[in-house]
Structure 1
């Protein structure tokens, strides 16, 4: 079994070593036959920047975009798991020290501001770890 997450996409543009690929991200039920009539199905288009030294891609090419499960877990952790844990720790710490529930909830929400600021400051380092591979689709 291959240890990769794969999506099919279309090359939007190529600028230097950056290939911009449009990928349709869909929910699990979007492929259902009655998805157009159902309000619960959704799909979104995402543009992914992939840096490669391979210059064989051009606009309109169908490609496979791949990432390892470790990269997916890192992105999920930084985007959802760490912020949730940070909020819970701040919330319970503030409740334990005697703050009201309203103030504790606000403190938990405000604790996300420095976290996301740090993510912004270290985005270059994160971009080097969260990488995608690309190959022409067959």
Structure 2
């Protein structure tokens, strides 16, 4: 059974039934009492687009984005694991064919360009697959 992933966010804009919700992604250091003195603490703000048709949300409202953990796993596979295996496979194959480390290294890095271009071409399909639901906070 998959567990739910929840993020608290603020609605920045609503147009055509799509809400742009800003979430703050904090690093592990963000909970530390010394974070303001340390340069290692990290905080990123991201904008997530979520369908809000039929619900009465307002700009500036604090909401909760919910998805299941299966989405997280698949996103990690697509963004990091598959390209890693492509890179390693091309590195090994090209090295054994050419016996040249430089060519193998450059080719293995270059294979990532078409991989991410293909991912970009499937952006609409992936957006339909990776769906968040929007809920009001209590």
Q: Relative to structure 1, is the Cα distance of residues 107 and 121 closer, same or farther in structure 2, using a 3 angstrom cutoff?
A: same
Deviation at 1:136, TM superposition (A): 0.6
What residue in structure 2 maps to residue 8 of structure 1? Answer: 8
What residue in structure 1 maps to residue 64 of structure 2? Answer: 64
Q: Deviations over 1:66-117 (max 9, x none)?
A: 1111111111111111111100000011112133111101000110111111
Q: CA RMSD in A?
A: 1.4
Deviation at 1:3, TM superposition (A): 0.8
Point out 4+ residue stretches in structure 1 off by more than 4 angstroms: none
CA–CA separation in structure 2 for the residues paired with 1:21 and 1:121: 24
Structure 2 length normalisation: TM-score? 0.94
SS in 1 for 2:98: coil
What residue in structure 2 maps to residue 17 of structure 1? Answer: 17
SS in 2 for 1:39: coil
CA–CA separation in structure 1 for the residues paired with 2:13 and 2:122: 27
Instruction: Structure 1: state its 5+ residue gaps.
Output: none
CA–CA separation in structure 1 for the residues paired with 2:2 and 2:105: 43
What residue in structure 2 maps to residue 82 of structure 1? Answer: 82
Q: In the alignment, is the contact (CA less than 8 A) between 2:2 and 2:69 conserved in 1?
A: no
CA–CA separation in structure 1 for the residues paired with 2:2 and 2:58: 27
CA–CA separation in structure 2 for the residues paired with 1:2 and 1:100: 45
CA–CA separation in structure 2 for the residues paired with 1:2 and 1:78: 19
Deviation at 1:54, TM superposition (A): 2.9
What residue in structure 2 maps to residue 91 of structure 1? Answer: 91
SS in 2 for 1:9: strand
